[in-house]
Structures are given as structure tokens and as C-alpha cells.
Amino acid sequence: MARKGSLRRWIVLLLTLAMVVGGIWTALAFVQRSEVLISERCTAAGGGSAELATDQAANAGLITAVALRRGLPARAASIALATAMQESKIRNINHGDKAGPDSRGLFQQRPSQGWGTTEQVMDPYHASNAFYDALVKVPGYQSLEITDAAQRVQRSAYPDAYAQHEVMARAFASSLSGQTAAGLDCSLRAPDEAGDPAAVQERLSAAFGGLPTSTDGSTLVLDAEGTQAWAVAHWAVANAKALSITEVNAEGRSWTRQDRNGWQPSEVPAGQVRITVADAPAQ
């Protein structure tokens, strides 16, 4: 009887363990499939690795695109991104602080100090251009430490604060300027509304200037290669959440929104960037 009781306990123990393992496997499978539990974020590599929230990444894409449109180097974008992170967390905020109550926008520029009107400094394009207008007047800014160059522009009460954002700034500037191929990836949930290729084209033109494009159904197509192709492609990934972009192809690689494995080999030929938006979700 004792032997049968021991055998019964072993069977119960094994069944319990099997149920626990099965429950863990089921929970993990649910987490992997669940859209709700996806932590939306963007990761950049290039001179380091860093993460930003999706809205921050979209603003970083705009700041970097403005630098490229002006013919400025990636170093200028690094300085601008470190500055914007310290001043506003790279968000277009409409308030200041005790030190600068009229400060506004991505760079917390003050209308009272000649940066433009309140409406202008709240315009990310104006704010970015105003920052670069001041930066290029700094002698030798490209060879300065990022925190030193930022301080020459901003004249902050906390001149050393910009240094803490250098790794993030270099990583995102390197990817968003196209210097690092396939360097930007965003983890996103499925879009909840249809995208519009015309809206993508309008936002793209505002950031980079007029780029020749065509439309193939729900896909925006433009000819670009090398660093320009990657700059546009990474900009599209950074804006994928806001613009309901589901796929980006560039230089023989493809980023797909539902794929959690980053950039993969693509059959789309090099020299062409294709940006595809979502169709209307099923009712």
C-alpha cells in the first residue's frame, strides 16, 4: 500500500508540473501575440544604442531631416537632438519654466530673446531652423563636444546637462541621417486607421524638401540610394505610428510593422524607397 501511495503522489506531482509548464507556455504565447501588451518604442543604433518613445522619434526625424535639407552634417543633428532632449524631452511643449516662463517648443526657445513669435517657436520646422541658424554661427562647432556646442546656442543655466544625452543623440542622428543602414527599428501595434500616401508625401516634403515621388496604390515610391535612401526610410519608420505606415523598403531591405525582427532582406531593388500605408481596418 505504501508503494502505491508513493506512486500516486509522483503521478500527481508530475501532472501538476505539466499543468504549470503548460500554463507558462500559454501565457508566453499570449504575450507574444497580444497587441495590447506591445510596448511601443523606437530603437536606434549607430555610435551606441538608444530608445525613444514613438512621438519623440518622429520629432527626432524632423529635426534630423531639417539638418539634411540644409546640407548640414550628422554632427549638427546630434547637437540638436541632445539639446531638444534636455530642453523638452523632444516634445513640442507649449509651456516654459521659472527660468524661462515664455519658453516654448522643441528647443524651449524664448520669443523675448529673439527666437521668433510664440506661434513660430511652436512650429517644429521654424524651431529647428532657428536652432541651426544659431549653431552654424558657432566657430568650429563640429569639433566641439556636443554639450559645449549646445551651450553656445542655448546659454542654459545648466551647461553640463546636455552631455547626458550624447549617446542617444549620436545613435538617432546616425540612423536618421542615413549614416547607419537599417539602424532604426520601431516596435508598434497594428494601426487602427487607414493611412494616406498623400499625407505621407506632404509630411515628407515638409521635412526633406521636394522629392520626386509617385504612388502605386497604397504605396509611395521615390528614387533614392545610399544615405539618402536610408534617411528617408528611417524617417518613415519613425513616423509609422502617426501615419499608419505598415512597410518600408530601401536598399534591398524591408521593415514590416507586424514583424518584430527588424529589417529583413527584400526583393525591392536598391535605388528605390517604397513606403506602404495601412488599408482601412476590417469592421
pLDDT tens, residue by residue, 237-272: 999 999 999 999 999 999 999 988 899 999 888 899
Q: Where are the beta strands (DSSP E) in the chain?
A: 41-45, 49-52, 184-187, 213-216, 219-223, 245-250, 253-256, 264-265, 272-277
Q: With a cut of 50, list the residues of the chain below it in pLDDT.
A: 26-35
User: What's the confidence (pLDDT) of residue 48?
Assistant: 84
User: What's the confidence (pLDDT) of residue 267?
Assistant: 87
Which residues fall within 8 angstroms of residue 205, CB to CB, at 6 or more apart? 211
pLDDT tens for each residue of 181-192: 999 999 999 999
User: What's the confidence (pLDDT) of residue 30?
Assistant: 41
The cell for 176 is: 536618421
What one-letter code names the amino acid at 115? Answer: W
The span from the CA of 203 to the CA of 58, in Å, is 11
- In the block, residue with C-alpha cell 488599408: 279
User: What's the confidence (pLDDT) of residue 102?
Assistant: 86
Which residues fall within 8 angstroms of residue 163, CB to CB, at 6 or more apart? 82, 145, 146, 147
User: What's the confidence (pLDDT) of residue 27?
Assistant: 42
The cell for 14 is: 508530475
pLDDT tens for each residue of 53-65: 999 999 999 999 9
